[in-house]
């Protein structure tokens, strides 16, 4: 059977422009979709921050305790060589009892307080509030 010009057009040809138009409309994201994704990401970041921030404080306290113990060990060596003297951090570094490249302050960048009374060596950090003689001091 021979097709004439007045015969029914091919349905594929008529649908193709509609599909292309629909595809062009679907290529981008709407503002609402972007805002929803941003909101979800913000909620996830907030949840992670709430879980991580308390651990940061605990890590600082643990680091300060470790640094204080290392400092106390260096002081014990100094006192063994220099009886009747209580060194400062500068003394320990200058006389090579403490490595100059090592940290000499607590996790809050406060100087340690050193005391050598009655043969007992104490190394004290001010702690998170940065003030000595409060309940959060670290020994």
Is 133 inside a domain boundary? Answer: no
Residue 34 lies in a domain: yes
Residue 103 lies in a domain: yes
**112 backbone φψ class: left, alpha, beta (φ>0; ψ -120 to 50):** beta
Q: Encode pLDDT of 18-52 as tens digits.
A: 766 666 666 778 899 999 999 999 999 999 988 88
What pTM was estimated for this model as a whole?
Answer: 0.63
Q: Is residue 67 part of a domain?
A: yes
Range of the domain at 56: 11-124
Query: Rounded to whole angstroms, how far apart are CA atoms 107 and 12?
Result: 72
Residue whose token pair is 């643990």: 62
Number of independent structural domains in the chain: 1
| Residue-wise pLDDT tens digits, 57-83 | 899 999 999 999 989 999 999 988 888
Q: How far, CA to CA in Å, does 1 sit from each of 4, 5, 7, 9, 11?
A: 10, 13, 11, 15, 19
């Amino acid at each position: 059977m021979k097709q004439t010009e007045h015969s029914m057009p091919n349905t594929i040809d008529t649908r193709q422009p509609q599909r292309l138009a629909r595809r062009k409309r679907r290529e981008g994201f709407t503002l609402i979709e972007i805002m929803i994704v941003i909101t979800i990401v913000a909620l996830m970041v907030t949840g992670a921050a709430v879980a991580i921030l308390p651990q940061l404080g605990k890590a600082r306290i643990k680091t300060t305790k470790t640094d204080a113990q290392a400092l106390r060990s260096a002081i014990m060596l100094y006192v063994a060589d220099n009886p009747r003297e209580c060194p400062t951090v500068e003394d320990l570094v200058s006389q090579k009892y403490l490595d100059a490249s090592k940290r000499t302050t607590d996790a809050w960048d406060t100087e340690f307080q050193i005391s050598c009374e009655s043969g007992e060596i104490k190394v004290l950090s001010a702690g998170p509030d940065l003030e000595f003689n409060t309940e959060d001091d670290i020994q």
